[in-house]
Amino acid sequence: MFLIYCPHCGEYREEEEFQNRGQAHIARPLDPDSCTDEEWGNYMFFRKNPKGLHHELWVHAAGCRKFFNVTRNTATYEIKEVYKIGEQPKVVA
């Protein structure tokens, strides 16, 4: 079970307080109506499934209810960094 640092609360808390919301940095197209089916399909359905470093969106659901990003190694489960929405990861594959 993970121990996750919430960048908003400034504390390590148990995984039970958090929810994983999938891949991070999936920006909603600014003009959905002009997206082709392929562009919209990519936004809607296509996600990475890497073995190794992955940037994920998490929410401190049973805490401050804030969303933030986590860089996690999906093979070893190491959390390499957490960073706020709008920021870019420092640890990249």
Partner 1 sequence: MSQKNRLQSGGRIDRSKPLTFTYNGKQLEGFAGDTLASALLANGVDLVGRSFKYSRPRGIVAAGAEEPNAIMQLGATEATQVPNVRATQQELFSGLVAGSTNGWPNVEMDLMGLVGKIGGKMMPPGFYYKTFMYPQSMWETYEKVIRQAAGLGRSPKEYDPDIYDKMNQHCDVMVVGAGPAGLMAALTAARGGARVIIADEQNEFGGSLLSSKETVDGKAAAAWVASVTKELEANENVLVLPRSTVNGYHDHNFLTIHQRMTEHLADRAPNGQVRARYHRVRAKWVVLATGAHERPLVFANNDVPGVMLAGAVSTYINRYGVVPGNELVLMTTNDNAYRTALDWHDAGRKVQAIVDTRKNPTGPLVEAARERGITVMAGSAVIDVQGSKRVSGVSVASISEDGSKVTGSVKKLSADTVASSGGWSPVVHLSCHTGSRPQWNDEIIGFVPGATVQKQLTAGAINGNFTTSGALEQGKQAGADALEKLGLKAADVAVPATVEIKESKPMALFHIPHTKPTSQAPKQFVDYQNDVTASGIELACREGFESIEHVKRYTAMGFGTDQGKLGNINGMAIAAKFLNQSIPETGTTIFRPNYTPITFGAIAGRDCKELFDPERYTAMHKWHLEHGAKFEDVGQWKRPWYFPKAGESMQEALNRECLATRESVGILDASTLGKIDIQGKDAREFLGRVYSNAWAKLPVGKCRYGLMLKEDGMVFDDGVTSCLGENHFLMTTTSGGAATVLTWLELYHQTEWPELEVYFTSVTDHWSTMTISGPNSRKLLEELTDADVSKEGFPYMDWKPMTVAGVPARVFRISFTGELSFEINVQANYGLHVWEKLFEHGAKYDLTPYGTETMHILRAEKGFIIAGQDTDGSVHPYDLGMGWAVSMNKPFSFIGKRGMKREDCVRSDRKQLVGLKTIDPNIVLPEGAQGVFDPTAPIPMPMVGHVTSSYWSANLGRSIAMGFVKGGLDKMGEKVYYPLVDGRIVEAEICSPIFLDPKGERQNV
User: 43 vs 83, which CB is nearer to partner 1?
Assistant: 43
What is the nearest approach in angstroms of partner 1 to the Cβ of residue 35?
6
What is the nearest approach in angstroms of partner 1 to the Cβ of residue 40?
6
Q: Which residues bind partner 1 (CB under 8 A)?
A: 1-3, 14, 19, 21, 27-28, 31-33, 35, 37, 40, 43-44, 57, 59, 61, 65-67, 73, 75-79, 85-86
| Cα gap 59→64, rounded to integer Å | 9
43 φ, ψ (degrees, to nearest 5): -65, -40
User: 3 vs 92, which CB is nearer to partner 1?
Assistant: 3
What is the nearest approach in angstroms of partner 1 to the Cβ of residue 93?
16
**Which position has the token pair 């002009």?**
34
Q: Report the sign of the C-alpha dihedral through residues 65, 15, 71, 9, in that order.
A: positive
| Cα gap 13→88, rounded to integer Å | 23
66 exposure class (CB count in 10 Å sphere: 0-12, 13-18, 19+): middle
User: 37 vs 88, which CB is nearer to partner 1?
Assistant: 37
